Structure 1
Amino acid sequence: MKIVFIGTYPPRECGIGVFTNDLFKSMVGQTAPSEGSLSSEAEDPVEGFVVAMSDHDLSYHYPEEVKFTIRQEHQLDYLKAVKFINLSGADICVLQHEFGIFGGQSGMYILPLLHRLQIPLIVTLHTVLKNPSYNEKAVMKQICKMAYKIVVMSNKAIDFLIEVYDIEHSKIVLIEHGVPEIVYNQEQCKKFFKLQNKKFLLTFGIISRNKGIETVIKALPKVIEKHPDVVYMILGKTHPNVLHNSGEEYRNFLQLLVKTLKLEEHVIFLNEFIDQKELFKYLSASDIYITPYHNEAQITSGTLSYAVGVGSAVLSTPYWHATELLAEGRGRLFDFNDSEGLSRILMELLDDPEALKSLRKKACDYGKTITWSKSGEKYLSLASATLSANPEVNSRLETLIDPLLLPAFSLDHIIRLTDDTGIIQHAKYGIPNLKEGYCLDDNARALLMVLMAYRESKDKSALNLAPIYLSYIHYMQNEDGTFRNFLSFSRQFLDEVGSEDSFGRAIWALGYLLGNPPNDAYFQTGKLVFFNAVPNFEKLQSIRAIANTILGISYYLKANPNDDAMIEKLKMLSEKLVAHFERNSTKDWKWFETKMTYDNGILPLSLLHAAEILNNEEVTKVAMESMDFLTGITLKEGYLSVIGNESWYKKGEKPSMYAQQPVDAMAMILMFQQAFQLTKDQTYLTKLFTCFMWFLGENDLRMSLFDFDTKGCCDGFDSYGINRNQGAESSLAYLISYLIVLQAFETYEEKDLKL
């Protein structure tokens, strides 16, 4: 068995790194019995290597077992790492997860790496939050979804995973934090540190304000009055993030408090990150170990486990891990920020050596059950069982969607964005941003969506919105048939003539209305606006405006196939697109321009519609070639990765991964639907489903853009993570795509198609 471990690693000064190192040493070099075998000959020798997380672009002199490093905020490093892992011969991956050690919002950069793993994944969770943020919860759920097994170190963590994150109990395994088997004599250690005549109190760990060390310092004056031989040591360096943002502000505060209380002879600050053997000498020398954290939200504490492991008498505030680990007399608890309560317990124990001795013995006895040799055995058994189960790692790339498992179709967010003028174009998170007003683009998309929804399910709430969007389009039309685009919230025109793209989107929606009229009144209004715009068709220069206009004409002609004048306009616009393709296309670049930008799928989509009506071989050829070229770029990894608008995709360069937009995913979905309509090739429906899953997390960041609370869709994602604003464009793109998926499933059922 060959194991790859991902986490921080020494010499980086990090508790997770110490854990990863201990876990590595407890597993690698051992033998893992084959599942179900009774023969020692069947034991599997364990090999392994480490992929180490480095912070702030720092370089470390890692030991030889570290074969690859990832710079925390460099996402390309994660993608290079997974390629290395997949080619390394590793059988299984063990990930140490803590939000702060991975890059991106809430550490989401680790998700693309995990998604591309071709071996089973076991995840150890060092933090499980009871009240996670939206991003923290989304990241955690994605990690747990991709993991075969999830290891936690407390029962409280199991409860949270089930209740907060909806994780199946069967995926979760409890393996307590391991403790090194380092044993020192207390008297010898005290003598070594010249503390043999002292009552030695200790707090160890990375220093930050949430550690609550001031609670102990404030408790000391009363204790020292009775026990003047008490010495309290604060052992550890300031947390690097705290140091980066606030310097030594907290340590200075503590030192000033010590001086104010005249405790200089009794409190020692040792500003070091010491090695494990040295730490255990201090722990063994201590009479009492104290963890005075400020609140309950700590699911795992390695320092607490170490203290119990060496048999310290431990006093702690009742945070989650302490409440569980110190139960049954293995330690004592005092309330958060309760210096008086801590004083009482300290004096009680220092006055009663037998009680102190009993506390130490119970901790020591329990510590023998959680040594790293025992924890390592449990991890090895879990890894062996995982490999024997032969989990389907490729299931991460499933593309067929069960419509019953999709979020319910909901217009809640669209209704929230809509008033009696039209749909507000932008939102701050899930709340309409009235400052940005309205635009023609989004009201056209909104009209298209509600007409599709009514056609699909005869949803009256959708139909009730249609006249709002249609009246906006009508209001924005100029006398010459062009359209204004932007309108302020106070209904002031913000432009004289809108973009050609907005013109094309309006024609698309109007054409769909004429082809699928819900009633005559809407049809007549739509017809009036549509034909007022017709004289402008031949003036269009923007290829996306041409494409959108082709879509509107095509929907109109499907219901009015004998309109020869409109057929001629369709031919004219199609020829313009084909001419763009022929000018820019080369052997290895089958596209309409020398770069791919936004809404790319609209271009092949429009020609696929035109081909259905015109039955023109050249139009069909260009439509198929451009679609195949786009597909090869955006679906090459088995999931949709649309061209990001951060820097687009210039011929001869690499596609931009950021910022990806929902409208691009929608265009791909519509394109594959029409490709199936034209060819009856069912593989296009499979690609359609794959593209829809982009919205629900099958994307480069492995994050869902659909907000299950607001029923809106986030505005895409960038290198830092999800753009949580939920504007009209994005939410409409999601809903239009959803409706196409429903239509696709109806096709599956009608034709009894199989993947």
Structure 2
Amino acid sequence: MKLAYIATYPPRECGIGTFTNNLLKSMLNGNANPNEENEAFVVALNDNELEYKYPEEVKATIRQNYQEDYLKAVKYINLSGADICILQHEFGIFGGQSGIYILPLLHRLEIPLVVTLHTILKAPSYNEKAILKGICKMAHKVVVMSNKAIEFLITIYDVPKEKIALIEHGVPDIHFNSEKSKKEFKLKNKKVLLTFGFVGRNKGIETVIKALPEVIKKHPEVIYIVLGKTHPNVLRHSGEEYRTFLLRLVKNLQLENHVTFLNEFIDERVLFKYLYACDIYITPYLNEAQITSGTLSYAIGVGAAVLSTPYWHAAELLADGRGRLFNFNDSDELAKTLTELLDNPKELKSLKNKAGEYGKKITWPKTGEKYVALAERLVKEEHPVIIKKETEPDLLILPPFSLVHINRLTDDTGIIQHAKFGIPNLKEGYCLDDNGRALLMVLMAYRQMKDMRALELSPIYLSYIHYMQNADGTFRNFLSFSRNFLDEVGSEDSFGRTIWALGYLLGNAPNDAYYQTGRLLFFNAALNFEKLTSIRGIANTMIGISYYLKSNPSDDSMTERLRNLAYVLMKHYNENQSDGWNWFESLLAYDNGILPLALLHSTEILHDDKIKQTAIDSMNFLTEHTLKDDYLSVIGNEKWYKKEGERSVFAQQPIDAMAMVLMYHQAFLVTKEKEYLNKLYTSFLWFLGENDLRMSLYDFETKGCCDGFESYGVNRNQGAESSLAYLISHLTVLQAYEELHSSDLKTT
């Protein structure tokens, strides 16, 4: 039997990775049929652009926030000859909102699926519940490690009882002598208290530290060892704030000789020596919401005397005298219980004996045998073949998302607006339009993919916008490479594009500093909203206001400004609309999709049926003239398309294709009609060669996008506008793909 695992995996420092490694080894050794040898491989999940030197059993990797990697992985699994797939599920290890990126992979899987759930929430968000239900629906068997987990799956997630299997957390079959272990760690005459695992605020370590002064009055030989690194996610967002707090607490309570922190992720054999060396193991978690604890299982497995707060797994595992419970955050009760047990060696030994007897039942060899038996049953069963309709873009044909060319165009002032082929053209300097677009793109990239380079670039573009704002809230547009202003006030188009980026920032700020800067710029500029006369300047501004209002819906004044601007667009539409011409002007010019897009955004806020209908009618008109023969042919900028005239085919530009991608995306969000996703994807393929010239504008070598095409062929210059249009479109495809699966979850 060939086994495929999807999980984190060593050397990544992660409890689920350790679990998977132990599970794989135990299943390879746990075949009930001695004449049949199991084989296995792992698809490993990487986090935050980190790469690892994996062992040979890892055959493929998935970067957490790259959707295309999930599709490559399932393709590999389906072609690998694997008989069954075993997925380890924890919300935090998969990409997308609440880990939604795993769903398309599972949807395409062609072999039986076993899912082990490491976290089951009692009060999930809408998305968390929908995603877990979706995973359980596609699984042939769902493995949990406690009876409380079974209860939750049945009552909260509507999983049929017969689909659930209880297999307790395995414990490595490693044994050491307690006295020898103490001697090795120079703890021979100490009473050792131990807590191990990743360190974070929810672990409640301060509860134990606060209990110690009372304990050491009677037992000065007590030492408390906190063994484990700060959790990587905590470290990323808060640094060593919690560990520093604990160290200060130790110092304030004068416990320096009684508390030791070992900031390491240690080898399992060393860990077990510490477990055998400890007299009492403590899990002082701060709330009940822990459905599985591997650290607790390990402690029971070695026969340790365990004290714990009554979180779900502890209440179950420590029942029948296998351990003692104390209340959450109750240092006084813990101090009394510790003193009582240290005073009473017989009671301590009784706890250890009962834990040890139970621990013999949950060693990894026994757990592995149960998983093997489960897998063999599923492989032998016949499973109906489900024909899956493909109504979504194929992310595997997308080039990998890359900021290489944007890095090339960006210096410490901003993004250079033009390029000669793939080289920045410094003679042309900078412009506000492109720095606004660049800010929008990197914010989207960070939100979508947690791309750290995108986050690093964002203050450069935000700083440029700040530098170019005038005292009256308007903006200059052009800046020479020598940092000289080239105009007094920029175009209304550049103004609107900047407001779009700032509005998006206010709804998706990665931190408060950027939010406050964006807010200042946005409201300084707001005085000029009603002065706009260019319909594209108005449209871009409306999109920015809409993003702002999505996170600030109670701003009635800004809502009225949006309504007034929408009515200006409606007025233009009504004045120019006639039979067969449902448009805002007497010609189709440039950046056309922005106009219906702005109305589609505003209808989400204003809920005005007339605005919505105008958006749909104008979008359909634009579609009729640009999206036919199964590819996008945008209006050429050479002569445009005048009413009752001939449309221009050449001088097609990437911003027009981007506008179509964004327009169809917003149409999907407003109407929930999936046909718009097909149109979105078709529009995106314009960049990759599905266009009038059948030439790719995306340059796979430079990672930039060409500036458009003329009658003679592709304009090979790769300026900021074109490359940003491509990247924004690429990110929109990824976002739409994620939203499609969210939409599918809601309908099911």
TM-score per shorter chain, which class? Answer: 0.5 to 0.7
Q: Corresponding residue for 1:11?
A: 11
Is residue 199 of structure 2 the alignment partner of residue 207 of structure 1? yes
Contact 2:583 2:621 in 1 (8 A): no
Are 2:593 and 2:622, in contact at CA under 8 Å, matched by a contact in 1? no
- Distance across 2 between alignment mates of 1:251 and 1:646: 50
What residue is the counterpart of 1:674 in the other structure? none
Task: Return the match for 1:53 from 38, 45, 48.
Answer: 45
> Taking structure 1 as reference, are residues 706 and 65 closer, same or farther at Cα in structure 2, changes over 3 Å only?
closer
Does 2:354 align with 1:278?
no
Task: Determine whether 1:310 maps to 2:432.
Answer: no
- Quote how far apart the aligned CAs of 1:55 are: 1.7
Distance, in Å, in 2 between the alignment partners of 1:279 and 1:100 is 25
Q: Equivalent residue for 1:659?
A: 732
SS at match of 1:49: strand
Partner of 1:274, secondary structure, is: coil
Letter of the 1:394 partner, please give it. Answer: I
Cα deviation, residue 301, structure 1: 0.6
Q: Distance in 2 between matches of 1:140 and 1:20?
A: 20
- C-alpha distance in structure 1 between counterparts of 2:734 and 2:271, whole Å: 51
In structure 1, which of residues 703, 708, 716 is the aligned counterpart of residue 741 of structure 2?
703
CA distance in 2, matches of 1:73, 1:197: 50
Q: 1:3 to 1:577 in 2, by over 3 A?
A: farther
Offset, 1:647: 8.7
- 1:682 maps to none
Name the residue aligned to 2:286. Answer: 294
Which residue among 214, 228, 246 is the counterpart of 1:222? Answer: 214
Distance in structure 2 (CA, Å) of the matches to 1:194 and 1:161 = 46
Judge conservation of contact 1:298–1:321 (CA < 8 Å) in 2. yes
Alpha carbons of structure 1 residues 78 and 547: separation in structure 2 relative to 1, 3 Å: closer
SS at match of 2:742: coil
Q: CA deviation at 1:18?
A: 0.5
SS for the counterpart of 2:261 is strand
Equivalent position of 1:556 in the other structure? none
Report the equivalent of 1:65: 57
Match of 2:364 in 1: 372
Instruction: Say if 1:473 and 1:57 are closer, same or farther in 2 by CA, change over 3 A.
Output: closer
What is the aligned length?
Answer: 511
Secondary structure, aligned partner of 1:659 = helix
2:550 equivalent among 400, 420, 428: 428
Residue 625 (structure 1) aligns with: none
Task: State whether residues 425 and 439 of structure 1, in contact with CA within 8 Å, keep that contact through their aligned partners in structure 2.
Answer: no
CA distance in 1, matches of 2:77, 2:179: 48
Match of 1:267 in 2: 259
Distance 1:394 1:595, change over 3 A: farther
> Does the 8 Å CA contact 1:112/1:701 hold for their aligned counterparts?
no
| Paired position in structure 2 for 1:545 | 621
- The aligned runs of 1:141-540 (5 Å cut-off) are 141-392=133-384, 394=386, 397=389, 428=550, 435-436=558-559, 477-478=574-575
3-state SS of paired residue (1:704): helix
Query: For 2:114 and 2:577, how far apart are their aligned partners in 1?
Result: 65
Task: Point out the structure with max Rg over C-alpha.
Answer: 1
TM-superposed deviation, 1:390: 2.6
Cα distance, 1:649–1:168 mapped onto 2, change above 3 Å: farther
Q: Render the CA deviation track for 1:77-97: whole Å, top value 9, x for unaligned.
A: 222222222221111110111
One-letter identity of the residue aligned with 1:3: L
**1:249-276 Cα shifts (integer Å, max 9, x gaps):** 1111111111111111111111111111
Letter in 2 for 1:116: R
Q: 1:506-564: CA deviations, max 9, x gaps?
A: 9xxxxxxxxxxxxxxxxxxx9xxx9xx9xxxxxx9x894266799xxxxxxxxxxxxxx
Give the aligned CA root-mean-square deviation in angstroms: 4.5
SS of equivalent residue, structure 1 residue 123? strand
Gap regions ≥5 residues in structure 2: 392-544, 586-591, 601-609, 627-642, 651-655, 666-673, 699-725
Task: Provide the secondary structure at the position in 1 that maps to 2:215.
Answer: helix
Query: Alpha carbons of 1:266 and 1:549: their partners in 2 closer, same or farther (altered >3 Å)?
Result: closer
Distance 2:242 2:594 in 1: 58
Q: CA 1:543–1:361 in 2, change beyond 3 Å: closer, same or farther? A: closer
Question: What's the TM-score once normalised by structure 1's chain length?
Answer: 0.60
Corresponding residue of 1:450 = none
**Cα shift readout 1:308-359 (whole Å, capped 9, x = no counterpart):** 0000000001111111111111110001100000001001101110000000
Matched residue type, 1:235 = L
User: Cα gap change, 1:312/1:579 in structure 2, threshold over 3 Å: closer, same or farther?
Assistant: farther
Cα deviation, residue 31, structure 1: 2.4
* Separation in 1, partners of 2:186, 2:10: 29
In structure 2, distance between residues paired with 1:500 and 1:60: 43
Q: Which runs of 5+ in 1 are unaligned?
A: 34-39, 400-423, 444-471, 487-497, 507-525, 534-539, 551-575, 585-591, 602-629, 663-693, 714-737, 739-755
Contact residue 204 and residue 285 of structure 2 kept, 8 A? yes
Distance 1:239 1:219 in 2: 24
- State the shift of 1:245 in Å: 1.7
- Distance in 2 of aligned mates of 1:355 and 1:377: 34
Question: Residue type matched to 2:203 in 1?
Answer: K
Quote the offset at 1:133 in angstroms: 2.0
In 2 relative to 1, CA 94–702 (structure 1 residues): closer, same or farther, beyond 3 Å? farther
For the 8 Å contact 1:106–1:139, the answer to whether it is kept is yes
Aligned AA for 1:704?
Answer: S
Deviations 1:614-659 (A, max 9, x none): xxxxxxxxxxxxxxxx99x987xxxx98457699665344896642
What displacement does 1:65 show? Answer: 1.0
Question: Secondary structure in 1 aligned to 2:135?
Answer: helix
CA contact (8 A) 2:576 2:583 kept: no
**Kept after mapping to 2: 8 A contact 1:32/1:384:** no
Q: 1:594–1:135: structure 2 CA closer, same or farther, 3 Å change rule? A: closer
Deviation at 1:139, TM superposition (A): 2.0
Alignment-derived partner of residue 465 in structure 2: none
Q: Distance in 2 between matches of 1:98 and 1:385?
A: 25
Task: Give me the whole-angstrom Cα distance separating, in 2, the residues matched to 1:220 and 1:111.
Answer: 47
> 1:295 Cα shift?
0.7
Q: Give, in whole Å, the separation in 1 of the partners of 2:276 and 2:154.
A: 38
Q: What is the SS of the residue equivalent to 1:237? A: coil
